[in-house]
Amino acid sequence: MLKNTGESYGLIAKSFHWLVGLVVIGLLIVGFLMDDLQMSVKLTVYFWHKSVGILVLTLMIMRLCWRVYNHAPSALPTHRPWEIVLAHIVHYALYAVLIAMPLTGWLMSSAKGYTVNVAGLFSLPDLVKPDKRLAEFFVRAHYYLAFTILGLLALHIAGALKHHFIDKDLTVRRMTWAIIAALLFFSMPAQAADKWNVDYGASLISFKALQGGSAFNGTIDKFTADITFSPDNLEHSKAVIMMDMRSAKTGRADLDGYIGAPEWFSVSAFPQAVFTAQKFESIAENKFNIIGTLQIKDFTTPLTVPFTFLTVENKAIVEGAALLNRMNFGLGTTPDFEDEKTVSHMVGVTFRLEALKE
């Protein structure tokens, strides 16, 4: 998948992200060290530092054009409003400084009277005439921009680590897995399982339980699924399903008022439930077990889910069901709700996913 979708980044955006990131980190390291080098080595390092800096400028302009042409995926349900605003600020600031940084380097060279030659292939025009005071200004600007980039990178990395290790959502994975998959494709093409993009409009996760002896049904309207699966390659198949429990509803006001409460899903503290696949096994033709763990609030329990997997050309239809004991997840364990006559301990969960192969 080259282009971004509403749920994930495409290979082009990910390539820009990682290529620019790694090159910029390398340039920063070299930039802080090269003044201490011997003159004979320093001149060569300066030359390549400038050439690679112009490469970054070119990549950033291309990346910006691609971002305008192909918009970024939507925010995940787990992203809080303040996180979305802060992420936008950091991203826009990174775009600005990563363009300004090589530009100030180019301007600094011009102001010092040194024409920038790119990798010995061609020379760039001087942007300004030689000017000592102007050169000193651009030297300082270039220096302070380096520390600005370091600060923004620290914020960017801290946010990514928070999403991955604390929120345990798909933020990091949707920017990394396609790159890993591409490397696996070229190094071990026979081992790669198929990647599937879920059609959320045609997919459904629902649940059913008893309240006072009467059945009620509900749905989880917002979820994300990162699925790599091939029936003939179960060893390399994997899946992570993240459900936004704030979107769980039954359509009954008397029940929906309790779902997000602390004694139930406590959605203010634990906005999502996560199912992580650890193993797949075949049990019959087109029938499989997915063996993994389900995390609800701060309870994680092993869970095996049987499902069917049918394909028509590049489209897959996956259907499955599981029976959960809510008491294992600390749901409704207070005296008001722990009696099974009030709300059944066992809750049935069913799902139907439609997905297209990448």
Q: Is the pLDDT of residue 206 over 90?
A: yes
Domain boundary among 151, 166, 181: 166
pLDDT at 183: 52
pLDDT at 189: 46
Q: Is residue 159 part of a domain?
A: yes
Same domain, 199 and 237: yes
Q: For the ranges 175-184, 205-214, 319-328, which has the lowest average pLDDT?
A: 175-184
Average pLDDT, the chain: 91
Range of the domain at 253: 193-357
% of residues, the chain, pLDDT over 90? 75
Return all residues near 50 (Cβ < 8 A) that are at least 6 apart.
105, 106, 109, 116, 117, 118
Residues 312-343: tens digit of each pLDDT: 888 999 999 999 999 999 999 999 899 988 99
Q: What value does the mean pLDDT take over residues 224-239?
A: 93
Question: Residue 153 maps to which CATH number?
Answer: 1.20.950.20
For 288, list phi and psi in degrees, rounded to 5.
-145, 165
DSSP annotation string for 25-40: HHHHHHHHHGGGS-HH
pLDDT at 174: 77
Q: Is residue 188 part of a domain?
A: no
Q: Is residue 262 part of a domain?
A: yes
Q: Is residue 34 part of a domain?
A: yes
Distances (CA, A) of 273 to 97, 199, 223, 233, 247: 37, 20, 9, 27, 11
Q: Is the pLDDT of residue 243 over 70?
A: yes
Return all residues near 312 (Cβ < 8 A) that are at least 6 apart.
none
Same domain, 151 and 50: yes
Q: What value does the mean pLDDT take over residues 156-180?
A: 79
Question: Residue 253 maps to which CATH number?
Answer: 2.40.128.110
Report the domain count for the chain: 2
Same domain, 162 and 15: yes
Residues 27-56: tens digit of each pLDDT: 999 999 998 888 878 889 999 999 999 999
Same domain, 202 and 343: yes
Q: Is residue 175 part of a domain?
A: no
Same domain, 221 and 101: no
Band (296; pLDDT cuts 50, 70, 90): very high
Q: What is the pTM of this model?
A: 0.56
Distances (CA, A) of 270 to 169, 224, 226, 273: 12, 16, 20, 8
Same domain, 155 and 213: no
pLDDT at 188: 46
pLDDT at 180: 55
Same domain, 93 and 34: yes
pLDDT at 171: 81
Same domain, 66 and 18: yes
Q: Is residue 171 part of a domain?
A: no
Domain boundary among 117, 151, 166: 166
Band (229; pLDDT cuts 50, 70, 90): very high
Q: What value does the mean pLDDT take over residues 214-232?
A: 94
Distances (CA, A) of 85 to 73, 80, 133, 317: 15, 9, 38, 36
